[in-house]
Chain A
Amino acid sequence: MSGTYLGMPAFPEAAHDAVRNPTLRRNLRHATHTIRDKRARAVAELEDWAGLRAAAKAIKDRTLRHLDHYLVRLEQAVTAAGGTVHWAADAAEANRIVTALVKATGESEVVKVKSMATQETGLNEALEAEGIRAYETDLAELIVQLGDDRPTHILVPAIHRNRGEIRDIFAERMGRWGRPAPDGLTDRPADLAEAARLHLREKFLRAKVGVSGANFMVAETGTLVVVESEGNGRMCLTLPETLISVVGIEKVVPTWRDLEVFLQVLPRSSTAERMNPYTSMWTGTTDGDGPRAFHLVLLDNGRSDTLADEVGRQALRCIRCSACLNVCPVYERAGGHAYGSVYPGPIGAILTPQLRGTGSGLDASLPYASSLCGACYEVCPVAIDIPEVLVHLRERVVQGGEATRNGVRVRLRPAKGHAAERAAMRAARWALDHPAALRAGQRLAARTRRLHPRRLPGPGRAWSDTRDLPEVPAESFRDWWQRTRGGEAR
């Protein structure tokens, strides 16, 4: 994954900073509570929600169990419709492919619609190094990019910023990237949106190359689907002459009909709307409408390693709706930055250590960034049992075991004796230090799910009983990792 996060402190240390920042906490709390209440209402509108959720899960399971088949099928369909398919085993390869494709057009700038896959690969930095400027066009991503910042939320990446901060970023920075903000810009959201509209429209109207991700790819037909609100997606997908989509291999669904499930569960779980303002679907290229050249880059980058783990595999069902973030008491206090990855919150806590492995202190601490309350599982539209995967990954951190890294089966050594227990305690301490977070978790748990998915064997056992905590040792988790390297074979 991207080098952006190298050197991040482990979750508990990073979370500490967030907890001390009252603006950040207020913004996050407001956002998560507002969205989660709206979501509950949007979901309650559909009496067949349970059936949709079961179908969404089953479709993704079918896809994952036969992923090779569907990828080949997708490749055929996209190619037959006039597109070109590329395969990237890792981030560096994906970036090389995209860079070469952009260079072949002779252009030195691209417009981008928010794409987690390209954030994961660090594409913007890779393009920059080759003299190509990538403009983020989602309003929130623009705020993040201009502010030299990182996203904190999957759906609303700049939610940690309030309107005053956004005004200042626009007034100060827009001019360096293109059309400056209008004089006397106020902090009214409508004025800020207007400033973004004017600033970005210049770029859309002259752009020759667009870069996107996709929410879904239909194997049967070769159709790609992008779901969005602002219209920047439509701009990037239809105005340029060349479109390059970088998409994780897990985003495929078998049939056209399957979209009837996902187009119902995604908007309601995500923005709590019956339907998001814009959905674009395209199949290869169309004469006279939209880009003349379409390239699809299929990205592995740790996904096949994740697939190899029979318990952890379910994380690949994720459709990035962000519902699990909004109900997570730990995310609410810690903020998205603490997870040290483009994937924050509960899904980040299980996806990141699988995509990247648990070789760093940060990644090893992520499975502990949870109170195991189960609220994330309850809201997940594809029914990912996040607590189950968390416990499984904790087991792996403290006990070692089989894992796949870069396609190779490796045996991770267990962390030794007391050190392992202390590591677990230290990493868990953060959540437990914050009684409000823990209480919220327990309250939800009583209503929603069995409290303890299962007890950890061996040194992790003490952790699994949240009410019987031993003293937490003075040595920080990070220091412990640096001293022992976590006992993991590298």
Chain B
Amino acid sequence: MGGGGPAGGSRDRVLARVRRALADVPRGERPSDVPVERSYLRTHGRRTAEETVALLAENLADYRAVVHRTTEDGVRDLLMVLLARRGSRSVLVPPSLPPHWLAAADPTRVHDRAACTTRQLDAADSVVTGCALAIAETGTIVLDGGPEQGRRRITLVPDHHICVVRVPDQVVASVPQALERLDPRRPLTWISGPSATSDIELDRVEGVHGPRTLEVVLLETDRDGETDREGEPGGDGGDEDDHDRGGRDGPPYADG
């Protein structure tokens, strides 16, 4: 939809060229007639839930995130210590961060409002968020803009990000498992270690533009204290075979 005029012309021109270029493809062939063998693994190796969490911790640390482990009872004090150690005077918080997490911390809480300018965000020392899930095999945390995570910009502009991962509930083993659980209609940010560059003689340097310090708190939850995302509409269904994520107003495209 190029706004009509010449762009509309180019749409047809490009599509016509593509169709002519594919003259060798038999007329009746459907996309699903082109086989895609998915013989690759859904996960690499068999692990208990506890081992999966340990692998996550190991891989996060390998990419220079600082990893901490705690329980519901300890999270308050741990976050207080982490912020104090950093000397943070102000901390950005997403709209629905559990209030008890930061109950002991001194810094001023800054809420990200629509009216906040990026310069105001830039003045915050730290940000504390939850996450949508974490991937053990790659050492990745994923944010999806849910109420415990806030907008994408709050985890980007401050130099220090503390991310709380509920273990083992929020931990998946692999990239395929992560995609199954995520909703593509949400804006997604995958984070594997702090911002880094290797552009200068391949020396790895942390933090060019994103946070230079990433601390991940692995928060042990009771199995029965299951922390579902408070029944948000459009939240992830978690159904393994559900690929019904086509456009917002159309049937899913069945593609084999």
Which residues in A have some Cβ–Cβ distance to B below 8 Å? 27, 30-31, 34-35, 45-48, 51-52, 54-55, 58-59, 61-62, 65-73, 75-77, 79-81, 84-89, 93, 97, 137-140, 143, 156-159, 162-163, 166, 189-190, 192-193, 196-197, 200-201, 204-206, 218-223, 229-232, 234-235, 238-239, 249, 254-257, 259-261, 263-264, 271, 273-283, 286, 288-290, 298, 300, 304-305, 307-308, 310, 404, 407
Contact = CB atoms under 8 A, between A and B. Distances in A.
Given A229-B196, A229-B198, A286-B186, A308 B20 contact: yes
Interface of B: 1-3, 6-7, 10-11, 13-25, 29-31, 34-41, 44, 59, 63, 114, 117-119, 122, 135, 137-140, 145, 151-153, 156, 175-176, 179-180, 184-203, 205, 207-211, 243, 245-250, 252-253, 255
Contacts of B252: 220
A69 B188 contact: no
Given A87-B10, A230-B210, 4 more contacts: A66-B29, A189-B203, A254-B255, A275-B192
A451 to B, nearest CB: 29
Given A234-B152, A260-B176, A72 B37 contact: no
A388 B63 CA distance: 38
Nearest to A282: B187
Given A275-B140, A407-B13, A256 B179 contact: yes
Nearest to A101: B3
A274 B7 contact: no
**Residue in B16, B137, B184, B194 whose Cβ sees the most chain A Cβ within 10 Å:** B184
16 contacts: A51-B39, A51-B41, A79-B1, A87-B14, A89-B14, A97-B2, A156-B198, A193-B205, A196-B208, A197-B208, A200-B209, A229-B197, A230-B196, A255-B253, A277-B194, A310-B24
Contacts of A192: 200
Given A229-B195, A275-B192, A219 B253 contact: yes
A260 B179 contact: yes
A193 B139 contact: no
A363 B39 CA distance: 39
B154 to A, nearest CB: 10
Given A65-B25, A68-B19, A257-B243, A275 B138 contact: yes
Nearest to A84: B1
A404 B20 CA distance: 10
Nearest to A235: B209
Q: Which 5 A-B pairs have the closest CB atoms?
A: A231-B210, A308-B21, A51-B40, A231-B209, A304-B17
Contacts of A88: 10, 14
A197 B240 CA distance: 41
Contacts of B18: 67-68, 71, 249, 300, 304, 307
A221 B247 contact: yes
A89 B3 CA distance: 15
Nearest to A222: B247
A81 B185 contact: yes
B185 A89 contact: no
B10 A93 contact: yes
Nearest to B26: A65
B192 A80 contact: no
A307 B29 CA distance: 17
Given A139-B208, A231-B209, A277-B195, A300 B137 contact: no
A263 B153 contact: no
A80 B16 CA distance: 23
Contact of B184 (A55, A275, A283): A283
Contacts of A235: 156, 209
Contacts of A275: 135, 138-140, 175, 190, 192
Given A31-B202, A205-B118, A290 B187 contact: yes
B17 A163 contact: no
A97 B2 CA distance: 9
